[in-house]
Structure 1
Amino acid sequence: MASALLVIDVQRGLFDTRPPPAEADAVIARINALAERARAAGAAVIFVQHEAAGTPLQHGGERWALDPRLQVRDGDRYVRKTTPDSFLRTDLQAQLQALGVDRLVVAGYASEFCVDTSVRRAAALGYPVTVAADAHTTHDKPHADAAFIRAHHNLTLADVTSFGPAIRAQAAEAIDFAR
């Protein structure tokens, strides 16, 4: 069995904003380091991209593209999605099954939407999930700043036990993809 790193929605239209998501440069650097460790351990790296017709995130558009700071390599995989759930109406589950993946590490954007929803869905499908606690981000909201939102989701996701498989939050540098 194997692990996979899911990098959710780190796209130009979501990161090339004023202001950018919280700690955008540091988050992308942590994602790049995670991806290199994943590849070195033989784990799949899967980039998930959100799209919506008629918006700046329209498939194939400049703003739909991955953030250019991401270090993408040959052999990386891609998933297109249209909802906060990276599994809904996508081929993500089929890709994971074909690769024999039994554990996921999740990073990306936005902590309270696509990261949260995809982590919960993964656990519901039977995958133990490690949330890269400092490698996901969002924008400040009127009710809470991004740092609070990220901390809140790191704590609440790790408290969800009803799906069965464990969800945990761990600093990116401490995540080990080797078995």
Structure 2
Amino acid sequence: MTMATSAAQLSALLVIDMQRVLFEPSPQPYQAEPVVARINRATTSARQMHMPVIFIQHEEPHSEIDYQSDGWQLLDSIMHEDGDIYVRKTTPDSFLRTNLQNILQELGIKQLYVCGYASEFCVDTTVRRAAALGYDVTLLDDAHTTHDKVHANGDQIREHQNRTLTAISSFGVTISAISIEQFANA
């Protein structure tokens, strides 16, 4: 076992909210297609490193993102496999009232790589909560996205999150950001 394989086995890749209802209506999130391609590259690389891939899916009862509804499903263009892990959530925090923490503990995970949707909500909240729980977190800085808002476009929001999250040191763990290229070539 190489050092890279050993480190990968202590790591997991979280893919947050890459669901139909969030991407298929117009307008699409910022750089939707390139982000999907980067996430597919990340999941492929993670599996090659024997790193667990965990898909997190948001749901709201009696809505277009109700559990198992068409809108709740992962995008058809997102590559997922039977060996992947799936977590359901109802808030921007992928840990709150979910089994994610138990899964990570059972797998002995110490490091999380995070990508997905929405940069300023579910990605942000999950990164902060993971750090508060003691996980080192690496944000895949070009593999998360959001929709344009009145106050800022998707590019500005993503850049803001990349800079803001990595500036947090008060949790006592490392929050860093790398490109999909760096992740895939690790």
- Which residue does 1:156 correspond to in 2? 164
Structure 1: give runs of 5+ residues left out of the alignment. Answer: none
Q: Does 1:144 align with 2:152?
A: yes
5 Å matches for 1:27-176? 27-175=35-183
What is the TM-score when the length of structure 2 is the normalising length?
Answer: 0.94
1:20 Cα deviation from its structure 2 partner: 0.4
Structure 1 residues 50, 3: closer, same or farther in 2, change over 3 A?
same
| Structure 1 contact 130–167 (Cα < 8 Å) conserved | yes
After superposition, give the CA deviation of every residue in 1:52-77 in whole Å (9 maximum; x if it has no partner).
01111000100000011001012100
List structure 1 runs of 4+ shifted beyond 2 angstroms.
none
After superposition, give the CA deviation of every residue in 1:43-95 in whole Å (9 maximum; x if it has no partner).
00000000001111000100000011001012100000000000000000000
Over the matched positions of the two proteins, sequence identity in percent amounts to 54
Work out which of the residue numbers 8, 18, 32 in structure 2 matches 1:24. 32
Q: Output the aligned Cα RMSD.
A: 1.1
| Structure 2 contact 92–125 (Cα < 8 Å) conserved | yes
